[in-house]
Chains A and B, each alone.
Chain A
Amino acid sequence: GIQVEQSPPDLILQEGANSTLRCNFSDSVNNLQWFHQNPWGQLINLFYIPSGTKQNGRLSATTVATERYSLLYISSSQTTDSGVYFCAVGHNTDKLIFGTGTRLQVFP
C-alpha cells in the first residue's frame, strides 16, 4: 500500500515565524488532503489539494503529484496554530491513508 511520510515530526516556533511542512507519498494519488488536529482531537479540513496550489489566509499548500510530495506553508504563526498536522492520500478510492503527522507548538 501507499506509504506517507511527513517531516519534520516535531516543530517548535515562536509566534510570528513561518514554517513549511512536507508530505511525501510512495505512489500516485488522485486525492490529497491536509488536516489540523486540535488538542481536543477534532480534525479540521485545511485543503483538498491533489495537485496545484491553494491559499487560505495565512495557510497555503502546493502538491506536485508527479514528484509525489505536498507542502503546507504556515505564515505568521499564532499560538492557535498549535496541534498536529496530517496529510492524507488516496488513489481511485475514498479511503484515506494518513501520514505520520507533524506536531507543531507555537509559543508566544
Chain B
Amino acid sequence: GAVVSQHPSRVICKSGTSVKIECRSLDFQATTMFWYRQFPKKSLMLMATSNEGSKATYEQGVEKDKFLINHASLTLSTLTVTSAHPEDSSFYICSATAGTGGKTEAFFGQGTRLTVV
C-alpha cells in the first residue's frame, strides 16, 4: 500500500510556543490530505481537509487560527499548532488518499503525540 510519513512522532513544547507537524506522501501524490485529532481512549475526529494550492477546509468547531494548515506541494501538508496550551495536548494523525478507478483508500501517518507543558 501507499506510504504516509508523519514527523515528529513525539513533541513536548512549552505553553505559548508553536509546533509544526509534517505529513508526507512518500510514493504518491496527494492533492488532498486530512488531519485528525484523537483524545485518549477515544475515536479519531476529523479536524480539517488540506487542499494543495488552496485554503484548508475546517470542520465545525475547529479554530483555523489555532491550527494552521499549509499544503504547499503534492506530497507535503503541515499542521502548525499556534500558541499552544495544555488543552491542545493530544494525538494528531494525518492521512492521504491514493487510488484510481473509483477506489480511493486512505493511508495514515504514524501520528504525532503532542504534550504542552
Contacts and interface: CB of A to CB of B under 8 A. Distances in A.
Contacts of B113: 41
A42 B34 contact: no
Given A86-B43, A94-B32, A98-B44, A41 B106 contact: no
Interface of A: 31, 33, 35, 40-43, 45, 48, 86, 88, 94-101, 103
Contact of B46 (A35, A45, A97, A103): A97
Nearest to B4: A43
What 3 A-B pairs come out closest when comparing CB atoms? A43-B108, A41-B111, A94-B97
Contacts of A97: 46
A45 B44 contact: no
Given A31-B104, A43-B108, A45-B107, A95 B49 contact: yes
11 contacts: A41-B111, A41-B113, A43-B108, A45-B1, A45-B105, A48-B103, A48-B105, A88-B44, A88-B106, A98-B43, A98-B44
